[in-house]
Homo-oligomer: A and B are copies of this chain.
Amino acid sequence: MAIQGITILGTGLIGASVGLALRAQGFPGSIAGWDPDPEQLHTALSRGAVTVIADDPLTAATQSDLILLGGPVFTILEWLDRLAPVLRDNQLVTDVGSVKGALCERARDRYNAPGQAGFLPGHPMAGKEIGGAANADPMLFLGSVWLFAECRQGSAMAPAARALADAWRSWVGKFGCRTLDLDPARHDVLCAWISHLPQFVSTAMCALLEDEFAANADLLPVGGRALREMTRLGASPFSMWRDIAHTNSEAIARALDALEQRIAHLRENLKTPELRDEFDRANRFRLRSPGSGS
């Protein structure tokens, strides 16, 4: 079943990039867009990420095959609430949020059953530290992994919604993504380690250096590429990460606590042979990581 009409609710960096990627890959249908920020919406329209501005987001959603939810996690949660009563079982809701367990919890009993719309939780592992439709990029997803974390609460999508889900997975493949299916809880733990941990560590390092160098900011440019890379994520917007911190706090806290202990271990062993073991482990990690030579 081909997807003919799409509504994107939240046309910031990711939502607008999806629109641009769809059109770059020849999506022939209409893409209605809506965003709480009119500037984001008009930028998305002027860049061609959406074909039309939705005057009323709920009306646009009821007239679309697929509704893509962008924006912070709490915003996505609200849309799940508002959309459930107005959609039918030949429609699919999908999202690009960074946390999945809370979304599946909220969708329970209201999606993925006969008479209900389908909900396919998705999470492209791509982004930039600077949000906004102005930074959207049709190639943003190329070479990255698009995670799916279908809710498994004993329910099943209606056949029409399932066909739309299959069609959406095909589009994601056309964006240049590998897809991977994970249980929602496992998704959230994985992302705590490989996405949320790096973000919060970079934020902590930036905040610390901001205080430490308040009177000597002129010295900061001395740090080269190493400092630049380790602090790039410090530019990430609070609005997005507040919701992630709230909805995945246990897994994030465990990862941060483990890293605190690991840094302390290293600090206590700056002059012992254990330092070599830690560097050896880190070297091994990099050897098995993608792009290890870059």
Contact = CB atoms under 8 A, between A and B. Distances in A.
B195 A223 contact: yes
A262 B193 contact: no
Nearest to A219: B190
A283 interface: yes
B202 A127 contact: no
B205 A227 contact: no
A28 interface: no
Nearest to A265: B204
A180 interface: yes
Contact of A194 (B210, B222, B289): B222
A194 B219 contact: yes
A77 to B, nearest CB: 16
Contacts of A276: 238, 242
A233 interface: yes
A102 interface: no
A201 B194 contact: no
Interface residues of A, number: 90
Interface in A82-117: none
B267 A210 contact: no
Interface string A275-289: 110111111111111
A242 B266 CA distance: 12
A278 B199 CA distance: 12
Contact of A207 (B212, B262, B264): B262
Contact of A283 (B180, B235, B285): B235
A247 to B, nearest CB: 10
Interface of A: 125-127, 129-130, 144-145, 147, 180, 190, 193-195, 197-213, 217, 219-238, 241-242, 245-246, 249, 252-253, 256-260, 262-267, 270-271, 275-276, 278-294
29 contacts: A125-B223, A125-B224, A129-B286, A130-B293, A193-B213, A201-B263, A202-B230, A203-B279, A204-B259, A204-B266, A206-B281, A206-B285, A207-B262, A207-B266, A207-B281, A208-B258, A208-B259, A210-B284, A211-B281, A220-B285, A228-B290, A229-B229, A230-B233, A231-B282, A231-B285, A237-B283, A238-B279, A241-B275, A256-B266
Q: Which 5 A-B pairs have the closest CB atoms?
A: A206-B282, A194-B223, A238-B279, A234-B282, A210-B285
